[in-house]
Structure 1
Amino acid sequence: MRSSTPPWRSDEPSHPIADDGDASRFCGTCAFSSACIAAGYDKPELAELQCLVEHVGPFRAGEHVFRTGDAFRAIYAVRGGTVKTRTIDKEGREQVLGFYLPGEVIGLNAIYPEHFPCDAVALDTTFFCRFSFPAMSALASRIPAVQQHLFRMLSKELGAASTLAGDHGADERVAAFLMDLAGRYAARGFSATRFHLGMSRGDIANYLRLAAETVSRVLGRFRAQNLIRIEGRELELLDPAGLRKVGQALLRD
């Protein structure tokens, strides 16, 4: 399986799209291929899973992938770009719930209510693999690795929702956020130390329950401490161990 090029490379697009491969090889960042291949499934089984995939997009920055209340029929695996999920309260105030990178899945929190409980909004030009959830569920009942992978993703979604609970300082929250992004990029074969922030400072602040000015001050402090280098939305982690130490209380591993 060919690996995707890290998004930092100046001669490549900032937001990579996974390599589709052929009938026996999935995208380098596919949310399900690693489960099947690790379990030893070969071409016939992978072909079944691949037949469920519908490539959709592009969605431009600001466009909705789905909206609160839409009927739940499919889950979406990000192929390229960045997505945020959010809710809007009765007063029109936005609450950012999370950010999703290539290879990650949105829509899992709609399984029980059978409608989407939030909006999903593209933060830049974004592409997806859309999986019919009824068909995916039927396949998972026959392929244990797919079923187990779905359970793991659900568990991770629940864990991410509780990460920001508790009384933690701004430095801890921002450091943990950056280290979490680094780990997620690394898990999909991208650089763990150099990457593009697809989300704005305001969105990061909203997600971390901080003021935008606070996030900017913390990033400036981390830069002065030589923990990071940041130019616009291009970020380099100069001292990952130091950042991990700052955010350790909020990191799950």
Structure 2
Amino acid sequence: MCELPPTHSEPLRSLCNECRVNGLCLPTGLPHDGSCLSALISPRIRIRKGAALFNANAPLTSLYALHSGSFKTHLNNAEGEGVVINFWMPGDVLGLDAIATEHHVCDAIALEDSLVCPIPYHPLQTLARDFPILQQRLNRLMSREIIREHERVLMICNSSADQRLASFLQGLSVRFVSRGYSSHRFILRMSREDIASYLGLRLETICRSVARLRALRIVTLHGRLVEILDMQALIALGLGSPGGHSIAPVPA
């Protein structure tokens, strides 16, 4: 893992109104006269690819609104191997894992050079008492991550390898659309090893599933460039619909 220190970038100040993902971000619960944002949010921090935004067991100091770039979070198992538990895109808020104990339970690693907006947690709590809509927004963010994790567990327990990969790609498509990008063509910032870990599969299983989706002309992959050729078939496969292409389940 790269140990480059984070680099402070430009102050946030009046930039929230200009941010393309501000509708997904926590500070949308604040009035946009600038005063609350200026008092609350620290200057943006640049995290280099491979560096950690925070590590497991580190104390909670801030939540982090992801302005640009991407991250993965992972836990270490009993053997000390990292297990990927989530991927993060612009507009997401990292650090919610630490709210219960005020210590992080996972590592957050940048998948590319990224910019985050630190939101100091204890001042945020104070401000939320004055602006209930901000507390409501924070609650919704936490609920969304719980739901996402429940869906992932259900997928791993009940889906074949091909269904897991289809659901994963379709889910990424939905998240890209919500950020103003193409639903059918996007870049995977994570490695196939990371995808395999997230989906509870072996790397060779992921490679075979990619080959089958390519052969069925549902998806093509050129390096990390994904092109979805048949969205309806991808959705049907992810749901296990009998109306989709019939593909034999593959052991995880």
Q: Name the CA distance, whole Å, in 2 between partners of 1:93 and 1:176.
A: 25
Q: Which of 192, 204, 207 is the matching residue for 1:201?
A: 192
The structure richer in helix per residue is 2
Which whole-Å CA distance do the structure 2 matches of 1:51 and 1:231 have between them?
45
2:164 to 173, 176, 181: 173
Partner Cα separation in structure 2 for residue 21 and residue 185 of structure 1: 26
Describe the shift of the 1:55–1:112 C-alpha distance in structure 2 as closer, same or farther (beyond 3 A): same
Q: 1:32 is matched with which residue?
A: 26
Q: Tell me how far 1:21 sits from its aligned partner.
A: 9.2
What TM-score, normalized by structure 1, do the two folds share? 0.82
Of residues 73, 80, 93 in structure 2, which corresponds to 1:85?
73
Provide the rounded CA distance (Å) in 1 between the counterparts of 2:28 and 2:38. Answer: 13
User: Does the aligned pair in 2 maintain the 1:86–1:97 contact within 8 Å?
Assistant: yes
Change (3 A) 1:184 1:24: closer
Q: How many Å separate the matches in 1 of 2:43 and 2:201?
A: 36
1:144 CA displacement? 2.7
- 2:64 touches 2:95 (CA, 8 Å); kept in 1? yes
Give me the whole-angstrom Cα distance separating, in 2, the residues matched to 1:120 and 1:95.
12
Structure-2 separation of matches of 1:229 and 1:207:
21
Q: Does 1:96 find its partner at 2:84?
A: yes
Deviation string 1:92-147 (CA, Å, 9 cap, x unpaired) is 21111110011111110110110000111111111101101112222222223222
Q: Percent same amino acid at aligned positions?
A: 33
The correspondence for 1:235, drawn from 226, 234, 238, is 226
Residue 58, structure 1, aligned to residue 46, structure 2: yes
Q: Which runs of 5+ in 1 are unaligned?
A: 1-19
What is the match of residue 136 of structure 2? 148
Paired with 2:199 and 2:77, the residues of 1 have a C-alpha distance of 17
Return the offset for 1:32. 2.9
Tell whether 2:174 aligns with 1:183: yes
SS of residue paired to 1:99: strand
> Aligned equivalents of 1:24 and 1:97: distance in 2?
28
Consecutive unaligned residues of structure 2, counting only runs of 5 or more, are 1-11, 242-252
SS of equivalent to 1:149: helix
Name the CA shift for 1:48/1:236 in 2 (closer, same or farther; >3 Å). same
Larger of the two Rg values belongs to structure: 2
* RMSD between aligned residues: 2.1
Contact 2:59 2:104 in 1 (8 A): yes
1:116 pairs, out of 104, 121, 124, with: 104
SS at match of 1:198: coil
Cα distance change, pair 135–169 in 1 and its aligned pair in 2 (3 A) = same
Q: CA deviation at 1:249?
A: 5.9
Give how far 1:188 is off: 1.7
Distance (whole Å) between structure 2 residues aligned to residue 21 and residue 237 of structure 1: 39
